[in-house]
Amino acid sequence: MSQAPGAQPNPPSVYHERQRLELCAVHALNNVLQQQLFSQEAADEICKRPLSQLALPQVLGLILNLPSPMSLGLLSLPLRRRHWVALRQVDGVYYNLDSKLRAPEVLGDEDGVRAFLAAALAQGLCEVLLVVTKEVEEKGCWLRTD
């Protein structure tokens, strides 16, 4: 079929969710998948469920993006900023390597780091990035299959 000269072709139908609240991760997932598959509740459940399934020995480290309260001297302000925090195992012990701490904070074994992660996720508005080798990423072995 030919079009009349100067006629614009029909644009494809593109699914696009607009920003609502602070649900940009949910909107980004749905926009990439081109349909509304994820809700805030579903995304929250997915974040909580892989926590117990993480194969921590396969993970080099974790980077968390957390809400960080603001203060002016002793006065706490009603504003929230974001802060990135690193968690890492060294010689069998997990540490919180938050750059705001005077020294690394011992989290302990796998149970300790899972408890720290659960507490961070329970605060809400927390993002967790896994740092893994290319081999682990390609094999997808950062999750336990049992």
E strand intervals along the chain:
61-72, 75-90, 93-96, 105-108, 127-131
Q: Which of 27, 47, 83, 141 is catalytic?
A: 83
27 is catalytic: no
16 is catalytic: no
The class (CATH top level) of 39-137 is alpha beta
- In angstroms, rounded to a whole number, what is the distance separating the alpha carbons of residues 69 and 82? 8
Q: Give me the pLDDT at residue 97, please.
A: 94
Q: Give me the pLDDT at residue 92, please.
A: 93
Mean of the per-residue pLDDT values of the chain: 82
Higher pLDDT among residues 146 and 108, named by residue:
108
What does the longest C-alpha to C-alpha distance in the chain come to?
72
Q: Structural domain boundaries of the chain?
A: 39-137
**Closest alpha carbon to 66 in 111, 104, 122, 132:** 122
- In angstroms, rounded to a whole number, what is the distance separating the alpha carbons of residues 107 and 111? 9
Helix (H, G, I), strand (E, B) or coil at 54: strand
